[in-house]
């Protein structure tokens, strides 16, 4: 039995460590730039990055190797990847000026610098000079693009919000005073005035955006593909460009860190297969923290009543059995409950009472951050109750009796003696709940998590906090990349990277909780279990 138990432990550890190593190696290697070979076959020339290598046996032929080449240039070739078998290769090289272009749209582009255009005229035609002109102008073009995006998102968003607020005020007046009332007429006049002011502001912002676009359209780089086609790319559309075959180790390391920074701080693009995941990071952390804030007080209060106040009997036994069974209910059932109760009943009631002007477009009667947090709080409530009960039971009875002997009441004993010494155990339940809730996906698909939600639940528009908004979640992001992406091969490395990030966030939250639990345990060492 000793060997059997030890072997089972070793196998379990091996599986866990193996999984973590796989995610770690695949995730950390995603952003490292590889070489860009040019491969010639009898019929075609390919240029791209090697994505995968595998051995296979063609029918009636010996075993050979084939490689998947990420060739990009989707608008020209209609494909992102090509398989190339070693027997079909006529020649292979790594050209010095093979360039990888990461774009805002259409995925990556592979080619050679052919010309640099200024106002449609070629001012450079050799790779070295074209590359130098690109380096000189790219940053300023990207700065103008950032200003344009800020105008589109913030300024135009503020104008639209002001006009929408005036329209909602008209709806509110209609509900309160009826149509054709003096208040309704005044509200319509305000709406007309606000609409005219917003039109003036919108025209001004649009003019600034058009000016920025015209300036950026002056600068383009022409790239020639491996098969001789040419494509002119606006510098503002290029996120970054690099020539991997010319880069040193330091240059590759800088590019690697730049890609990681973009991944952690930027928004997704290209159907989530490129860009960053900051909205998903923010949504995951905020939802997990709100869930913990909601579940811990209710879980602790319920456990306190069951352990300290309730008398043993059929009803208490039934409640405990129900709590234990609730822990085994599939998570999707909680999602259906959250959608039906929180969204369609509670949220719809809130809209009818407090926000009738928004109807028939609901404000709270749909999935959002608040309802997702409440749903996961219900999902993890049994974990907190059971752990808290165990922690309360572990406090020695002699400490309770000593408190009573000194004249303390039951609540004073619980507050000053029992709860402080049970706190490490309560933190253990919180850690378990946090770990489970942060990784759940199925309920979130019904109560608020979406594919793309660049608007965060916190912004600069009053009331500044918007718990009713949909949000992005790293777990749902992984599901979307792995099973809903149009370009699954390009998204596959991002699946491992996002998984690594989700594991890292859960570990960071757990480490913070464990540190707090350790401090409490050292302070009240007698009460831990």
CATH number at residue 435: 1.10.3720.10
Evaluate whether residue 26 is within a structural domain: no
Residues in the chain predicted with pLDDT less than 50, given as ranges, are 526-529
Does any domain span residue 270?
A: no
In this structure, are 306 and 356 located in the same domain? yes
403 in the same domain as 309 = yes
Q: Based on the fold, state whether residues 102 and 236 are members of the same structural domain.
A: no
DSSP string, 485-528: -SSHHHHHHHHHHHHHHHHHHHHHHHHHHHHHHHHHHHHTGGG-
Same domain, 96 and 217: no
157 domain residue, yes or no = yes
161 and 69 in a single domain? The answer is no
In a domain, 11, yes or no: no
Cα–Cα distances in Å, from 504 out to 20, 30, 95, 275, 491?
11, 16, 38, 19, 20
Contact 247, 240 (CB under 8 A): no
Residue 267, in any domain of the structure: no
Q: Which of 231, 251, 271 lies at the terminal end of a domain, its last residue? A: 251
Examine residue 171 and state whether it is found in any structural domain, yes or no.
Answer: yes
Instruction: Look at residue 528 in the predicted model and tell me its pLDDT.
Output: 42
- Per-residue pLDDT of 316-373, as tens digits, reads 889 888 988 888 889 999 999 999 999 999 999 999 998 888 888 898 999 899 999 9
The answer to whether 271 and 487 have CB atoms below 8 angstroms apart is yes
Residue 140 and residue 57 share a domain: no
> Do residues 393 and 443 both lie within one domain?
yes
Position 32 in a domain: no
Q: Are residues 422 and 504 in the same domain?
A: yes
Same domain, 373 and 412: yes
Residues 426, 508, single domain; the answer is yes
Q: Closest Cα partner for 332 from 444, 429, 416, 408?
A: 444
What number of other Cβ atoms are within 10 A of residue 441's Cβ? 18
Q: Determine the structural domain holding residue 104 and report its residue range.
A: 38-111
* Spatial distance between the Cα atoms of 513 and 519, rounded to a whole number of angstroms: 10
- Domain for residue 271, yes or no? no
Predicted pLDDT of residue 526: 47
Q: What does the alpha-carbon distance between residue 102 and residue 496 come to, in Å, rounded to a whole number? A: 20
Total number of domains in the chain: 3
From the list 326, 377, 375, the residue with the least C-alpha distance to 347 is 375
pLDDT score recorded for residue 527? 41
Determine the pLDDT at residue 269: 83
Do 341 and 411 sit in the same domain of this protein? yes
DSSP string, 38-86: EEEESS-EEE-EEEEEEEE--TTS--EEEEEEE---HHHHS-SEEEEEG
Structural domain ending residue among the three candidates 111, 135, 163: 111
Read off the pTM.
0.88
Asked whether 51 and 68 are in contact (CB, 8 A), the reply is: yes
**Phi, psi (5° rounding) for residue 474?**
-60, -40
Q: Are 444 and 523 contained in the same domain?
A: yes
Rounded Cα gap, residues 385 and 376, in angstroms: 14
């Amino acid at each position: 039995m000793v060997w059997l138990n030890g072997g089972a432990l070793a196998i379990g550890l091996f599986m866990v460590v193996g999984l973590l190593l796989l995610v770690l190696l695949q995730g950390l290697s995603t952003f490292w730039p590889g070489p860009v070979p040019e491969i010639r076959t009898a019929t075609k020339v390919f240029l791209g990055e090697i994505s995968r290598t595998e051995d296979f046996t063609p029918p009636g032929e010996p075993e050979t190797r084939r490689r998947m080449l990420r060739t990009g240039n989707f608008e020209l070739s209609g494909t992102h990847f090509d398989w190339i078998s070693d027997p079909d290769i006529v020649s292979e090289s790594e050209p010095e000026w093979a360039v990888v272009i990461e774009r805002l749209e259409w995925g990556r582009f592979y080619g050679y610098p052919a010309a640099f255009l200024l106002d449609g005229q070629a001012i450079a035609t050799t790779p070295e000079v074209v590359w130098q002109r690109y380096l000189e102008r790219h940053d300023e073009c990207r700065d103008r693009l950032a200003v344009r995006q800020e105008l589109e998102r913030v300024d135009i968003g503020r104008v639209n919000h002001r006009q929408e607020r005036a329209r909602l005020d008209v709806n509110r007046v209609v509900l309160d005073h009826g149509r054709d009332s003096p208040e309704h007429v005044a509200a319509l006049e305000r709406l007309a005035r606000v609409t005219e002011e917003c039109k003036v502001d919108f025209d001004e912002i649009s003019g600034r955006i058009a000016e920025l676009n015209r300036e950026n359209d002056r600068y383009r780089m022409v790239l020639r593909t491996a098969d001789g086609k040419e494509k002119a790319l606006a510098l503002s559309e290029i996120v970054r460009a690099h020539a991997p075959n010319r880069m040193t180790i330091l240059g590759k390391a800088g590019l690697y860190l730049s890609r990681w920074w973009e991944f952690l701080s930027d928004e997704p693009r290209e159907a989530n297969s490129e860009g960053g995941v900051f909205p998903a990071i923010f949504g995951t952390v905020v939802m997990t923290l709100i869930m913990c804030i909601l579940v811990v007080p209710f879980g602790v209060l319920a456990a306190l009543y069951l352990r300290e106040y309730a008398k043993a009997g059929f009803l208490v036994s039934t409640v405990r059995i129900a709590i234990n069974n609730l822990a085994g209910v599939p998570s999707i059932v909680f999602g259906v409950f959250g959608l039906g109760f929180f969204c369609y009943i509670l949220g719809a009631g809130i809209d009818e009472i407090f926000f009738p002007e928004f109807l028939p477009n609901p404000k709270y009667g749909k999935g959002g951050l608040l309802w997702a947090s409440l749903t996961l709080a219900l999902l993890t409530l049994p974990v907190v109750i059971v752990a808290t009960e165990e922690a309360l039971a572990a406090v020695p009875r002699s400490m309770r009796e000593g408190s009573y002997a000194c004249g303390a009441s039951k609540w004073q004993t619980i507050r000053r003696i029992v709860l402080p010494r049970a706190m490490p155990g309560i933190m253990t339940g919180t850690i378990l709940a946090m770990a489970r809730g942060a990784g759940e996906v199925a309920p979130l698909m019904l109560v608020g998590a979406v594919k793309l939600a660049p608007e965060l639940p916190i912004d600069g528009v009053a009331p500044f906090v918007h718990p009713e908004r949909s949000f992005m979640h790293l777990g749902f992001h992984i599901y979307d990349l792995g099973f809903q992406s149009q370009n699954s091969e390009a998204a596959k490395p991002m699946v491992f990277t996002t998984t690594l990030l989700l594991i890292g966030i859960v570990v960071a939250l757990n480490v913070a909780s464990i540190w707090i639990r350790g401090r409490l345990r050292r302070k009240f060492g007698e009460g831990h279990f």
